[in-house]
């Protein structure tokens, strides 16, 4: 099956294939925003099983008004998150991201504590230290609790711009959030909410919530909404070449942006096509 060809006047795309091979075919300076959420190199198998609850006369669970339900388990989505040489894998893809950004474009690289420090050094060299905009801390409170160290409950998102003197940042377009101490500000400010800082408190995707797709490591729509609101304009092209469950595409479509999503996993491609209404290419 031939890889769909991206053109700036073409449709939104979901592309199956090795992301490096795919993005090397795109022309320079094509995307105002690139968000990527590569594997974190945890050394573990990442998996999630889709679960849904349906009405059933013989169900084992009792719900509202005495209605019986049963839990139906779907397919398991999984991948091995382990690389012998992680940076030999990621570095050429980051080089391509730099090439593909428009002169006023922005890269968001989503990692965690295992590799983010090495990524910072590499991106400083690739983009220039003056092009470093932020390190966003996405903090959440869910999952297992370690008793031998402080539990790790955050991810790191490095933000780099192609040109530190000319880039898109729409701070007033970003969804505002509640003040942590609303009594310390005026009622008008408390009602309006505040602009986010570089620490984002946002829950993960609930395994039983409406947003779930069944994809392991799915990221919340709220995180991608904020990124896309801030660093692109309506009609802009957004690229995610570790697209996973397609959250970037869902947020982009909701906000009037165009998108290209790439992933080599047939499971991920199937989930994205269902979620975004794409047919097989």
Domains annotated on the chain, with CATH: 13-46+81-276 (3.40.50.150)
Give pLDDT, residue 216: 74
pLDDT above 80 for 194: yes
Mean pLDDT of the chain: 85
256 Cα distance to chain centroid: 17
185 has a pLDDT exceeding 80: yes
What is the rounded CA–CA span in Å between residue 199 and residue 153?
12
End-to-end C-alpha distance for the chain, whole angstroms: 8
Distance between CA atoms of 254 and 100, rounded to whole angstroms? Answer: 23
Look-up of token digits 């965690």: 112
Residue 276 is predicted with a pLDDT of 95
Q: What length is written for the chain?
A: 281
Q: Average pLDDT for residues 267-276, to the nearest whole number? A: 94
Q: Find the mean pLDDT for residues 50-63.
A: 50
Question: Which letter does DSSP use for residue 131 in this model?
Answer: G
pLDDT band, very low/low/confident/very high, at 213 (cuts 50, 70, 90): confident
* For range 171-176, the mean pLDDT: 92
Question: CA-CA distance, 8 to 221, in Å (whole number)?
Answer: 25
91 has a pLDDT exceeding 50: yes
Helix (H, G, I), strand (E, B) or coil at 76: strand
**3-state SS class at 172:** helix
What pLDDT sits at residue 3? 75
pLDDT band, residue 68 (cuts 50/70/90): low
Model confidence at 77, pLDDT cuts 50, 70, 90, reads very low
Confidence band, pLDDT 50/70/90 cuts, at residue 56: low
| Cα–Cα nearest to 50, from 278, 253, 274, 281 | 274
- Residue 252 near residue 281, CB atoms below 8 Å: no
Q: Is the pLDDT reported for residue 223 higher than 80?
A: yes
The per-residue pLDDT for 58 is 58
d(CA 154, CA 151): 9
Q: What is the largest CA-CA distance in the chain?
A: 65
Task: Quote the DSSP letter at residue 177.
Answer: B
Of these ranges, 42-46, 137-141, 261-265, the one predicted with the greatest mean pLDDT is 261-265
**pLDDT, position 47:** 41
Is 106 in contact with 33 (CB distance < 8 Å)? yes
Q: How far is residue 25's CA from residue 38's CA, in Å, rounded to a whole number?
A: 20
DSSP for 227-278, please give it.
HHHHH--TT-EEEESS-TT-HHHHHHHHTT-EEEEEES-HHHHHHHHHHHTP
Task: Compute the Cα dihedral for 172, 137, 246, 31 and give only its sign.
Answer: positive
What the block records as the tokens of 150 is: 């402080």
């Amino acid at each position: 099956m031939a890889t769909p060809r991206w053109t700036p006047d073409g449709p939104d795309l979901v592309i199956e294939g090795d992301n490096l091979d795919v993005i090397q075919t795109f022309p320079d300076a094509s995307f105002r925003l690139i968000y990527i959420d590569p594997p974190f190199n945890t050394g573990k198998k990442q998996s999630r099983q889709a679960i849904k609850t349906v009405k059933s006369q013989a169900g084992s669970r009792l719900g509202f008004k005495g209605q019986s339900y049963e839990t139906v388990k779907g397919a398991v989505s999984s991948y091995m998150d382990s690389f012998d040489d992680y940076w030999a894998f990621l570095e050429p893809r980051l080089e391509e991201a730099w090439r593909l950004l428009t002169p006023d474009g922005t890269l968001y690289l989503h990692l965690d504590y295992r590799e983010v420090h090495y990524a910072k050094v590499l991106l400083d060299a690739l983009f220039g230290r003056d092009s470093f905009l932020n390190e966003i801390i996405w903090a959440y409170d869910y999952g297992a609790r370690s008793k031998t160290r402080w539990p790790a409950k955050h991810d790191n998102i490095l933000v780099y711009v192609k040109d530190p003197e000319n880039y898109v940042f729409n701070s007033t377009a970003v969804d505002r959030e509640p003040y942590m101490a609303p009594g310390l500000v005026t009622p008008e400010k408390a009602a309006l909410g505040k602009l986010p800082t570089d620490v984002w408190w946002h829950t993960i995707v609930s395994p039983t919530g409406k947003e779930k797709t069944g994809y392991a490591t799915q990221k919340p729509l709220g995180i991608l909404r904020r990124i896309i609101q801030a660093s692109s304009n309506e009609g802009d092209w957004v690229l995610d070449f570790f697209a996973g469950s397609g959250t970037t595409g869902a947020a982009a479509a909701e906000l009037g942006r165009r998108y290209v999503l790439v992933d080599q996993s047939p499971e991920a491609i199937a989930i994205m096509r269902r979620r975004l209404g794409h047919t097989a290419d």
